[in-house]
Structure 1
């Protein structure tokens, strides 16, 4: 009879080494995924309906308004917006309140959004807000 051990090593590997920790700055977690998708929608790189299944409540209407041609990342030609930093706060189980700092040339804009985890364990954006310089 063989005993089974619970290990995290791949089958056939017998040494004790572990994979290195991911380098600082590697983006992970649902808040980073949403920040990147929200920025793509708000800057016109992706259509608003690409987030239709990833939003709940009034968040979709907020996105439609923010992604309009008069939105914060549209207007006269300038460098493409870049996600500089993304952070999160867990006010309770199944909720992430996140922020992102977005650089557009020498301008900084702040984006805040709330993610809620549904019964199907999928994260959905429940609110989004953008503040900072306007064109």
Structure 2
């Protein structure tokens, strides 16, 4: 493009220099669809790796479950021991009837325990050998 100057001479038009900025073109068509990705993978599934936080939470839950199991086992052991103590096969409880006052008759108390009102089964052979007043008593209430 040629322009005329004020004094009649012709003026050159502007030409772009070699240092002109060149912007990159838009990258289009690079996105894949979900179906294309699945076809490419051919049914293979990638391994899902746990993050450090997930691993830590997993370990924490394991510790909590283990503590709960130990607590439950101890509780069950105590309950079975308590139930076994009152049973026929459990160890005997030795009870001594001692009168602490002159007005109380210890023989009357043992007579009440031997009676049918106590609700137990009396075994004379389970008593202490050599003592005539001792006896064995199996009772659910005592």
Is the shorter-chain TM-score for this pair beyond 0.5, marking a shared fold? Answer: no
TM-score (norm 1): 0.24
- Structure with the higher fraction of residues in helix conformation: 2
Structure with the higher fraction of residues in strand conformation: 1
Q: Which has the higher contact order (CA 8 A, sep 6+)?
A: 1
**Which structure: larger Rg?**
2
Provide the TM-score with structure 2 as the length reference.
0.24
